[in-house]
Amino acid sequence: MIKKAVIPAAGFGTRFLPFTKAVPKEMIPLIDKPVIQYVIEEAAAAGITEILVVVSRGKMAIQEHFNPEFSLEDRLEKSGKTSLLEELRRIDGLARLHFVYQQELKGLGDAVLQAKSFVGNDPFAVLLGDTVLSSDYKPVTSQLLDVYADRGAAVVALEEVPQDLTSRYGVIAGTSDDDSLYEINGLVEKPAPGKAPSNLVIASRYIFTADIFDYLEKTPRGKGNEIQLTDAMRAMLADKAMYGLKFNGTRHDIGNKLDFIISTIEFALKSEEFRQPVTDYLKSLEL
Ligand code: UTP
């Protein structure tokens, strides 16, 4: 059983400026919960009990969000606001959280490398802290863990995107018997237009064995002058099998403004409290 997860959440969030000047993008809410809480809930629902969040300067709000606020809990208790109180206590008990600083923002690969001593020799999950993966089937991390339990090798979540968007992502080449589970045989980070080996991109969730750190330590800066996780994975792929699963669910990249707007509407339409008023409002727009 995999019990550890790493959540990179140190990035600048330049795509969401000026909001991200003082507030971490991982604290952007969908309705009333910050993105990173959804991510931690996904990990906890998959049986993860120890989580390392990789942060940088200016990300204190993340730590504070997951720190029990006893005086607030006391006040809610005294004023009889039990459902809010239960919600806060539920957050406190999701998982054991640890934090580490990424000193220089040298890229996602470097962020994951900060987890080396936390991980030790255990296999572990990586969940990007700015992306919610919703699924009516089962948490996407659980879907990947099922593949890991079967194959015992690294697994990533895959999503099909339009060919003209592949240059934003890590893209795989691979083969599949069922168009769901892929054996990966090539990886490229942000391919130039027309150069992508497929339209299957890595969708912000990964399961690794600890030997990914050997490859990360040897990975030089790549695209965007950053240490790319995809480059370390490509080196590992030369020695070991790696799988990709077209997951059952939807990706919400909240660091992207349009995705944030669409996701807010989708989450409102799924919520008991907001479905009707938001539907009424959208209809009234007569678009
Ligand atoms: P992104 O590229 O989406 O994050 O990285 P970013 O750099 O914050 O975003 P923009 O492009 O400037 O808007 C994906 C994930 O990797 C983390 C980010 O926090 C995000 O969760 N990351 C990225 C780090 O933790 N450290 C880094 O040096 C880079």
Residue 136 lies in a domain: yes
Residue 178 lies in a domain: yes
CA-nearest residue, atom 16 of ligand 1: 108
Asked if 31 and 267 count as a contact pair (C-beta separation under 8 A), the reply is yes
266: amino acid identity, one letter: E
Q: What pLDDT was estimated at residue 119?
A: 98
Q: Which of 112, 109, 129 is CA-nearest to residue 187?
A: 109
CB of 130 within 6 A of ligand 1: the answer is yes
CB of 111 within 6 A of ligand 1: the answer is yes
Residue 263 lies in a domain: no
In the numeric block, which tokens belong to residue 140? Answer: 């996407």
CA-nearest residue, atom 29 of ligand 1: 107
pLDDT digits (tens, 9 = 90+) for 118-160: 999 999 999 999 999 999 999 999 999 999 999 999 999 999 9
Q: What pLDDT was estimated at residue 92?
A: 82
54: pLDDT confidence band, cut at 50, 70 and 90? very high
Ligand 1 centroid from CA 138, angstroms: 26
**How many Cβ atoms are within 10 Å of 33's Cβ, its own excluded?**
15
Alpha-carbon span 144 to 126, nearest angstrom = 11
CATH of the domain at 80: 3.90.550.10
pTM of the predicted model as reported, rounded to 2 decimal places: 0.96
In terms of Cβ atoms closer than 10 Å to its own Cβ (0-12, 13-18, 19+), residue 211 is middle
pLDDT digits (tens, 9 = 90+) for 239-277: 999 999 999 999 999 999 999 999 999 999 999 999 999
Asked if 111 and 55 count as a contact pair (C-beta separation under 8 A), the reply is no
CA-nearest residue, atom 3 of ligand 1: 255
Beta bridge partners of 51: 5, 97
Looking at the structure of the chain, the number of domains it has is 1
Alpha-carbon span 119 to 228, nearest angstrom = 19
Ligand 1 centroid from CA 212, angstroms: 19
Average pLDDT over residues 96-117: 97
**How many Cβ atoms are within 10 Å of 103's Cβ, its own excluded?**
11
Residue 95 lies in a domain: yes
**How large a percentage of the chain has pLDDT more than 70?**
100
Ligand 1 centroid from CA 105, angstroms: 8
Domain interval for residue 217 = 4-255
Residue 89: pLDDT above 90?
no
Among 23, 108, 221, which is best to mutate for testing ligand 1, by the most ligand atoms less than 8 A from CB? 108
Residue 287: pLDDT above 80?
no
52: pLDDT confidence band, cut at 50, 70 and 90? very high
Among 7, 12, 35, which is best to mutate for testing ligand 1, by the most ligand atoms less than 8 A from CB? 12
Q: What pLDDT was estimated at residue 204?
A: 97
Complete DSSP assignment for 180-209: SEEEEEEEEESPPTT--S-SEEEEEEEEE-
Q: What pLDDT was estimated at residue 70?
A: 84
Q: Which of 41-45, 60-64, 73-77 has the lowest mean pLDDT?
A: 73-77
| Pairing, β 200-208 against β 96-101 | unpaired
Residue 269 lies in a domain: no
pLDDT digits (tens, 9 = 90+) for 197-220: 999 999 999 999 999 999 999 999
Three-state secondary structure call for residue 253 = strand
83: pLDDT confidence band, cut at 50, 70 and 90? confident
Q: Which of 32-36, 40-44, 89-93, 98-102 has the lowest mean pLDDT?
A: 89-93
Residue 87: pLDDT above 90?
no
Residue 272 lies in a domain: no
Ligand 1 centroid from CA 13, angstroms: 6
Three-state secondary structure call for residue 257 = helix
pLDDT digits (tens, 9 = 90+) for 64-77: 999 888 888 888 88
Please give, one letter per residue, the 3-state secondary structure of 85-139: HHHHHHHHCCCEEEEEECCCCCCHHHHHHCCHHHHCCCCEEEECCCEEEECCCCC
Ligand 1 centroid from CA 14, angstroms: 9
CA-nearest residue, atom 27 of ligand 1: 107
CB of 123 within 6 A of ligand 1: the answer is no
Average pLDDT, the chain: 95
CB of 229 within 6 A of ligand 1: the answer is no
Q: Residues with Cβ < 8 Å from 30, sequence gap 6 or more?
A: 38, 132, 252, 254, 263, 264, 267
Residue 161 lies in a domain: yes
Residue 265 lies in a domain: no
Ligand 1 atom closest to residue 17's alpha carbon, by position in its atom list: 13
